[in-house]
A = this chain, B = another copy of it.
Amino acid sequence: MSLETTFFFQDHSHDFIQFLNQKKYSKIFLLADSHTNGFCLPLLKQLIPEFCYSCLIVIPAGEAHKNIDVCQLIWNALLLQKADKHSVLVNVGGGMVSDIGAFAASTYKRGIDFVNIPTTLLAMVDASFGGKNGIDFDDTKNAIGSFTNPSAVYFNTHFLKTLPNSVLRSGIAEILKHSLLDSIGALDETLDLDINDFFQARSYRKSIAFKSAIVQIDPHDEGIRQSLNLGHSIGHALESFMLYAPKPLLHGEAVLLGLIYELMISHLIFQLPIEIVQKVIAFKDRIFADLKCPFDYIDIEKFIGNDKKNRGEIRMSLLEAPGTGRWQVPVSVQQLKTAITETKQFLAK
């Protein structure tokens, strides 16, 4: 089991190969889902020829399969192919694959090494590192899991070219969130980006460095790491509210809207400059031009208290100023209502 994670970027693929060789793993197992098996593994094997000789485990794609049954398939495959304590599991895919793969590896023979190779922008800037893993259980998201760091993460934007634009969006919202929490400089850089820039490594390297620093300070999510929930309280509520709509919101769309509303709450509570809210709305209009979601407090009321991080009352992660996150901030229903009304007016402009 690794305490620290080594990051490798596409321009240093050779270092990643050297890392794998130095580890002298007894066996390398590749975990892919039915999508990444087809779209990403051929490219990956070209980039990292070492993986041509790996044992392959393929699981069904989609969040619905992030469960204990699929986890048992992975454990079973590892046992059948005689993975020992010196084997490594390489998770190739989005957050679903790295979440379940990391959990399976962290519990197989009390923990074997694992490596994440994220193939979506969201997984690159979020799920692929930081130690959180898990599976859903009995309708509860990530009910079962552990905190265990990957030995390494290998980033390569070539995988992004196989993705539909909608999937790219989830990552963009997360990068925006990181830059809001990072600094005014990082924020301005992100707001200047064009959709095509997100296929370039430079657009997300700062985002990875930022989250990585936060996670090192608070690995077990007991303090400052909770600031990374910015945008997610209202984002999750909106996602739940729209779940059965004719056109449900994508996760990244919900988080982007959640960010805008929570920045308005931050304006009301901490006097965050209103220009920040306006700039983020302008960014949304440019990058997510078609994204609309008119709603009222009453629509999300029953979803907003449900957030497991809130212990029943409404507490949110907000932004005091660019670069200064706050967490566990009590928010009254009245403040929430006012913020929603005011944000709607801004969005309508």
Contact = CB atoms under 8 A, between A and B. Distances in A.
Interface stretch (A105-113, A165-173, A244-252, A276-284): A105-113
Given A75-B138, A75-B144, A107 B107 contact: yes
Interface string A130-157: 0011100110101111110000000000
A68 interface: yes
Contact of A75 (B79, B110, B137): B137
4 smallest CB-CB distances across A and B, nearest first, come from A110-B145, A107-B144, A79-B138, A110-B147
A79 B140 contact: yes
State the oligomeric state as a number of copies: 2
A300 interface: no
Interface string A49-67: 0000000000000000000
A59 to B, nearest CB: 17
A79 B103 CA distance: 19
Nearest to A1: B220
Interface of A: 1, 68, 72, 75-76, 79, 84, 103, 106-111, 132-134, 137-138, 140, 142-147, 220, 308, 311
Contacts of A106: 146
Nearest to A78: B143
| Most chain B Cβ neighbours within 10 Å, of A1, A111, A137, A144 | A144
Contacts of A75: 137-138, 143-144
Given A1-B220, A79-B140, A138-B79, A110 B146 contact: yes
Contact of A111 (B111, B140, B147, B311): B147
Contacts of A132: 110
Given A68-B68, A68-B72, A144 B108 contact: yes
A79 B110 contact: no
B138 A107 contact: no
B220 A138 contact: no
A142 to B, nearest CB: 7
Nearest to A108: B144
Contacts of A144: 75, 107-109
Contacts of A146: 106-107, 110-111, 146
A145 B106 CA distance: 8
27 contacts: A1-B147, A1-B220, A75-B137, A75-B138, A75-B143, A76-B138, A79-B138, A79-B143, A84-B308, A84-B311, A103-B107, A106-B146, A107-B107, A107-B145, A107-B146, A108-B143, A109-B142, A109-B143, A109-B144, A109-B145, A110-B132, A110-B134, A110-B142, A110-B145, A110-B147, A111-B146, A111-B147
A343 to B, nearest CB: 31
Contacts of A84: 308, 311
Contacts of A138: 75-76, 79
A165 B217 CA distance: 51
A109 B1 CA distance: 20
Contacts of A110: 132-134, 142, 145-147
Contacts of A107: 103, 107, 144-146
A209 B152 CA distance: 37
